[in-house]
Amino acid sequence: MDVTAAHRFAGKLTELRARSGNPSVRELERHMPFARSTISDNLSGRSLPSWAFVEAFVRACGHAAGTTEESLHLAQWREALRQAKGIAAAAPDRDFPRVREAYLERIRRRYGHAELGALAPGGDPDRPGLIPLREIFVPPEVRADPPPVELPRELVRRLVDRGEIRHGDLPPGIDAETLDRIRRSHRGQPARPVLDVIADDTRHGLVLLGDPGAGKSTVARYLTLRLAEAGDEGTLPVLVELRAYADARWRTGTLLDLIERLSEAGGHGLPRTVLEGYLRAGGRAVMIFDGLDEIFDPRLREEVADEIAGLAARFPSARVVVTSRVIGYQRSVFDREEFRTYLLQDLDRPRIERFLTAWYRLAAGDRPAEADRLRDRLLAAMDEVAAVRELAGNPLLLTIMAMLGRKRDLPRDRRDVYEHAVAVLAAQWDPSRHLRDERHTREHADLDVQDRLALLRRIARRMQDAPAGLAGNHLLDHDLIDEVAGFLRSEHGLPPGRAKAVARAITDEFRTRNFILSHYGAGVHGFVHRAFLEYLTAAGIADRVTTGDDDLLQVYARRWPDPAWEETLVLLAGMVEPAQAGQIVDHLLTADPLWFLGPRDPGIGRSSESGARNIMTALRCLNEVRDVAALPRQCSAAVNAVINMLEHIAEQRVFAGSPVARTLVETAAPMLTRIGGHHPRIRSRYRDWYLMRGRFLRIPLEGEDFIDFQVPPAAQTGAGLLRDDGEFAAVLNGLVRFGDVPALRDDVLDALARGRPGDPEVLASLRDVAEHDSIGAARRGMVQGVAMAARPAGAAWDWVQACLADDDPFLRDGAVAAFGFEWRAHPEALPIVCRAAVTDRDPSVRSAAIGVLAVNWTADPRAGAALREIARSDAEPSVRIDAADRLIAAWSTEPETVSLLRRVVDDPAIPRWFRSRLRQELVGVTTAGPVARPLPERSADPRRIRLDAVIDAARGTDLSRERAVAARPEDRIAIVRALAVGWAGDPALLPWLCDLARTTTDGRLTETILWTVATTWPDRSEQTELMRDVLAGDFPADVRGTAMMLLAAGGRADPAVPELLRKLTGAEDDHVRSLAVELLGTGWPRDPEIVALVRSFAETDGADAVRYAALKALLLARRPDPETLELLRRMAVADSDPRMRRFAVEHLTVGWHDDPATLALVRRQAVNGVTGDDRAAAVQALAGGWRGDPATRELLHGFVAQGEEADPDRWRAAIRALAERWPYDQEIVGLAGRIEAEEEW
């Protein structure tokens, strides 16, 4: 190799890159089928690159520069590479260049387009035409030396992601040692791009294994195409599709003879003398033998493997690649010849996104916005439904999804995807490969696709009736064969003996060829994707319901408590008529009146799965109905149930991260989004409830010396439903800037980011708050919010990247969270978080990054390596402790981790308590790994056990209800709520509840009845009259406040409601008055009289609470008129309450920091404020709103220089502000640490 020539050619490439605007390696990687390491190596000048690389590099530079195809001068670049190499391909005779060029042209024509016709639904007018392979191909990754074991995809993913599987989830025959081999394979062999492996592997022979649909043949074709496009300067590609060798007519002579026969038949091979002469002369070639598994005779397959290995030995200048399915692959021949074995991996999220982007850009033509919409819809379906996400990793199934995604609304129509995917896979079967008897071959010939699907549904039913049920997803071999044989006997009249033989062949075919069943070993089979089992089970039940063999509601009554059945029941709801689906929703919503006390049988499922299962399943079933507009009553009942759950979270002080709260966001929010488009009245119902009631709900958290608040996820739950509602958006924008409860701002932030993704106004607002808010936690959250609302590209990417380098640790912390959670699928996310964990200058940011790594990348060896480096060498003992703690939790089975942690035990800088704990943890660590720690048994809530019987007795008459409520005071609330859920149709129940609310002396019971009747019977006049009676009566202030909010929520269209609120602004109780003022200002912001009234309360009322409520109402109305601005300025300087002066300064800073008058006012307050608190608040505001102003920093340093004695409060505030926003001054940082230590002491 002429090294000088290589350097000169690399210099030319570097010059082209510079002329093209010097795109980064990251940008080049986006437009090239090569990894960054390969790009860097080829630009280093150590060796000459291939033509495939040069062409891709020139095209990528052209894309960066915006040049046309003609301006790329590819022919000149090819000639330059030819001259640099100074060689010509070895030729056995004078005709070789002509023969080679003709052959390569035929290859380019044959493999230039993807073969997709067989995947499209029959009769689809939009069946894909000729799609260029290079436009949609996304190179998958591979791992070396895969363990020989099959498991369902869901179990593999759980094992790799979490490192733990429960014993009950394992099929028979799978033990801890097997699982450990899988886990070690994933962690010990990092995934690499397949094309890099083929190019870089030092051995000249390798085997690519993969499941059906994993992309083996596509990789082979793409590689062949790229080499053929390189022309006579590239490596000669030879692709042999071995399924031809399985045909006896082709099975004469050697593989080289077969290649010659292919040349004679279709021009896709080369004459043997030409190819053999070229290889003997040392010509470079890549010989790809695709589909070794297509040779079904095991003896013949071994002979072919021997011959392939022999070719590799005879022609060392040829790289030999073999592809095969995993099932049936025997590696002994290739191991003997030192072939390296790799396993194709499922596509990860970035690769899926790249494929969908390319696919829909081609499908949508000149409509890029439509392409992005289709791509984002399918990606959202993957995020929402685990089964869709699991299937999407398989390229074949992802392509089917992409085809159907143009006309189907995923995930709601995912059953169509499952049906089509199973049909496509079943259509490929040919059990005759496994039969020796010609009679048996003829006997299965009549099984068409519908027969095969019917058979699969029968297998699914047998599996659901097995002891493990749907949760197990496994069936013993003899049971499976018996079921198939029974189908053949009953449906096709085969006699028992022949039915058994054909059943064995069909079972083998499904497992080895169709990617439907897996063999787990020990005579056990199961569906390879759980989604297939769930779909087929649902389809079978739907068939039996149609024929009258199954009672639909009985199926739901029996199965809904079991989490393993949830997805099946949801799919089933979409397969029946809308009227039947409506009955299902009605049944489920009332199936468990005591849902809020937990499940009847906590042994079903995990604790995290408990909480309103019947309601969540009902919502998902409703979302599955195609014509949801035909079910207005069920839609209304579903929204009422959602509001009731949000009220429950606040009333019962349920932790905001609880299963109930999470399922509202994950399940209820998508359902509301969909039905809102069909039912405008439902939108206004939820919006009015949120504005008048939902945003006021609080969950107090009380400690010995603090009180804090959480909130139910009311804004997030309604974000999609109210995406286009201007009033809702205005209030959310106000709350994210001016909200006074951090948890409320977080909920609103999530609602804005997820409900209005990509909205420029939202993104600008979030960035503004992140840069100027005085509260560090708010700034951190807003950075993450930007990543929630935007794709990892363009201005959003650049801004979050800038936050990583900002002086403010809260912004850096937020950026780490952005990459670690919102953008974790991006290929640069993990390296970015690793760098932050290792190199950030602030220990708190490093610790935060450590936590992100431990949560999101437990399966990635790069994360483990970073944590080991931190535990070994971080300068801060507390950070080393964090890293060691995470390592012991997730990486304890890796020998290098155990060795490192043993050194940590002996580190004197680590506190003794942690070393002691670590020593105890290490005692039990073995390399066998955590397979399945049994979960502790949970018992039902005692009230649940007691009240099940009480509720049954209480549902009859008023007298029985009164006895039930009087029996045990601690049960009253539960009984009232259960009656409203289970027996809302009883005409006597609502009047009885209203009377009970008016007469009971239990204020909490009254309040519960108020929100219960408001959410259960929102349109009934009885509940409205009850609210008015409570407001007029002698009830506690908090009870009257609840009645006021609920009345306003249901009566914004009633002129009498604002009039009543006006009267209540004159009430004696400040709580009642302040709430009435805020409801008026928020609920009727366009009424000038109401706005003037609210402003007058803000200016002149004698109660601080009332003035603050009025100020919030004015700010949330998002009417930054001059009067409101002037009011804030007066309050900041002259209000009698120091808290109001602080609030006014903070709100001015967040809302009007661009106004020069605001800066002048805040500076004056910092210098001349009435009290030390006033001056300290102004200092904090200056550091937030005007951090980029050099004069501000100089002023704060001046306050520090004046000394503590001159103004202690301001001095401390200035030190804190400088240390937080400009933390590079070590003297200031030291003073801040001293202050913090003194205050802690």
- pLDDT, tens only, 21-57: 888 888 888 788 777 777 887 888 877 787 778 888 9
Q: Are 745 and 739 in contact (CB under 8 A)?
A: yes
pLDDT at residue 602 tops 90: no
Residue 161 within a domain: no
The token duo for 1206 is: 């001159």
- pLDDT bin (cut points 50, 70, 90) of residue 674 is confident
Confidence (pLDDT) at 434: 45
Confidence (pLDDT) at 203: 64
Domain boundary among 1119, 1153, 1175: 1119
Same domain, 1031 and 1065: no
- pLDDT bin (cut points 50, 70, 90) of residue 608 is very low
Same domain, 259 and 111: yes
463-499 confidence digits (pLDDT tens): 887 776 666 677 888 888 899 899 988 888 888 888 8
932-985 confidence digits (pLDDT tens): 444 445 566 777 878 877 777 666 666 677 777 777 777 889 889 999 998 898
Strands laid side by side in the 475-476 sheet: 475-476, 524-527, 517-521
Same domain, 950 and 1099: no
Same domain, 718 and 788: no
Distance (Å, whole) CA 667 – CA 612: 11
AA letter at 269: G
707, HSE (Cβ side, Cα atoms, 13 Å) = 3
Confidence (pLDDT) at 88: 35
Q: Are 51 and 230 in contact (CB under 8 A)?
A: yes
Confidence (pLDDT) at 197: 87
For residues 978, 983, 989, 995, the Cα torsion angle rounded to the nearest 10 degrees is 10
What does the pLDDT average to over 698-714?
81
pLDDT at residue 245 tops 80: no
Q: Are 1214 and 1196 in contact (CB under 8 A)?
A: yes
What does the pLDDT average to over 548-558?
91
Confidence (pLDDT) at 262: 74
Q: Are 863 and 887 in contact (CB under 8 A)?
A: no
The structural domain count of the chain equals: 10
Residue 458 within a domain: yes
The token duo for 444 is: 């299965």
Residue 314 within a domain: yes
Q: Are 295 and 330 in contact (CB under 8 A)?
A: no
How big is the CA angle at 238 (ends 106 and 330), to the nearest 5 degrees?
140
Domain boundary among 748, 769, 791: 748
294-337 confidence digits (pLDDT tens): 887 778 888 889 999 989 888 888 999 999 988 778 888 898 88
Same domain, 717 and 779: no
83-109 confidence digits (pLDDT tens): 776 543 333 456 788 888 888 999 999
Residue 418 within a domain: no
Confidence (pLDDT) at 914: 83
789-824 confidence digits (pLDDT tens): 998 888 999 999 999 999 899 999 999 999 999 998
Backbone phi, psi, residue 209, to 5° = -100, 155
Domain boundary among 797, 826, 855: 826
Residue 770 within a domain: yes
Antiparallel, parallel or unpaired: β 340-344 and 205-210:
parallel
For residues 718, 722, 727, 728, the Cα torsion angle rounded to the nearest 10 degrees is 20
Distance (Å, whole) CA 1142 – CA 1134: 11
Same domain, 201 and 313: yes
* 282: region left, alpha or beta (phi > 0 left; psi from -120 to 50 alpha): left
Residue 129 within a domain: no
Count the neighbouring beta carbons within 10 Å of the beta carbon of residue 937: 7
Same domain, 389 and 454: no
208, HSE (Cβ side, Cα atoms, 13 Å) = 29
CATH number at residue 260: 3.40.50.300
Poorest-pLDDT segment among 751-760, 1120-1129, 1218-1227: 1218-1227
Same domain, 665 and 796: no
Same domain, 340 and 223: yes
Strands laid side by side in the 141-144 sheet: 192-193, 141-144, 340-344, 205-210, 318-325, 285-290, 236-241
Q: Which domain holds residue 737?
A: 578-748
Choose between 260 and 986: higher pLDDT.
986
When the pLDDT of each residue in the chain is averaged and rounded to a whole number, the result is 83
Residue 122 within a domain: no
194-236 confidence digits (pLDDT tens): 988 888 756 678 999 988 788 999 999 999 999 998 876 668 9
Same domain, 585 and 561: no
Which of 161-170, 355-364, 527-536 has the largest mean confidence? 355-364
Nearest CA to 460 out of 483, 441, 437 is that of 483
Same domain, 457 and 357: no
420-448 confidence digits (pLDDT tens): 888 877 776 655 454 444 444 555 556 77
- pLDDT bin (cut points 50, 70, 90) of residue 1178 is very high
Residue 652 within a domain: yes
Distance (Å, whole) CA 1104 – CA 1018: 34
Same domain, 741 and 596: yes
Report which DSSP code applies to 1106: H
Distance (Å, whole) CA 1148 – CA 1166: 14
Distance (Å, whole) CA 803 – CA 780: 10
The token duo for 223 is: 């590689």
